[in-house]
Amino acid sequence: MEAAASRISWLRIRFFKSRFFLIVLYLLIVYLTAWNTFYFESWLHKVFPQFKNVIYPGATPEELFIDHLKITFYSSFGALVFSCIFSALIFTRFFADFKKLIIDLASFLQTIPSVAIIGVVIPVLGYGLIPIVIALVAYSILPVTLNIVRGLESVPEFYLETAEALGLSKSFIFFKVKLPLAAPVIIAGIKNMLIINVSAATMGALVGAGGLGVPIMAGIHDFNPAFIIQGSVPTAAMALLIDELLKIGEGYA
């Protein structure tokens, strides 16, 4: 009897910790807080009865969400493309000498808080979607490049040697052996970049590019915690969602 009960509770824990459950949960949170905010609004009214507005009135939640996705998507895509070009360059003979320099630079740039970048962006690039995208791309190229380089270098030599000894061509070895073996490290880098970009996209509000940063800024300005929650909860849920999704790619076999 007791054994059966503990078995059921064990199953329950396993379900609630399962990846599928978490992915559905995060998706639901994003949907209910950033898209269809009917229930969210009534809940916020209950929690903060003193405020008339609990949902940012300047733009519809859908607009904010789509703007946020735009910033995240463009900057992540740009970072990915440039990182691939960069790491390909690093592996050419000409740039091989700069590898250490680039890796050091990347580690150094990682220590700068992303908010500080905005200080550079506004005077140099002005306002709008493009400046924030350029800023985020610049900020996240190097960490991704770093992980691509590290991942490819972490593939044990004897795998490549046995592949060579089998009589496989260089390009076949790269795509079928080296890249898949480096994938966990590379995907971890991409995951990090996406998570940074999702949350850093809130800074789009500072340069007038919209996004979920807008209610956060408004909330800070008006001392309205409900706005802050409206902006930050879906952002955090999206970051967690990406983390959970890309963990699938990180651990093969």
Query: Which residues make up the interface to other proteins (CB under 8 A)?
Result: 158-159, 161-169, 172, 176-177, 180-181, 183, 252-253
Question: What CA–CA distances, in Å, run from 168 to 8, 157, 177?
Answer: 51, 15, 10
Minimum distance from residue 105 beta carbon to other proteins (Å):
31
Residue 124 or 166 with smaller CB distance to other proteins: 166
Residue 170 φ then ψ, to 5°: -60, -45
Minimum distance from residue 176 beta carbon to other proteins (Å):
7
Minimum distance from residue 249 beta carbon to other proteins (Å):
12
Residue 138 or 173 with smaller CB distance to other proteins: 173
Q: How far is CA 74 from the centre of its chain?
A: 12
CA–CA distance, 10 with 80 (Å, rounded to integer): 41
CA–CA distance, 195 with 236 (Å, rounded to integer): 9
Residue 4 or 165 with smaller CB distance to other proteins: 165
Among all chains, which residue has been given the structure tokens 């960490």?
Answer: 143
Residue 2 or 157 with smaller CB distance to other proteins: 157
Residue 62 or 164 with smaller CB distance to other proteins: 164
CA–CA distance, 163 with 168 (Å, rounded to integer): 6
> Using the 8-state DSSP alphabet, how is residue 35 labeled?
T
Minimum distance from residue 181 beta carbon to other proteins (Å):
6
Minimum distance from residue 169 beta carbon to other proteins (Å):
6
Ordered DSSP codes for 108-152 = HHHTS-HHHHHHHHHHHH-SSHHHHHHHHHHHHHHHHHHHHHHHH
Residue 113 or 167 with smaller CB distance to other proteins: 167
CA–CA distance, 98 with 206 (Å, rounded to integer): 35
Minimum distance from residue 71 beta carbon to other proteins (Å):
34
**Tokens for 126?**
């002005």
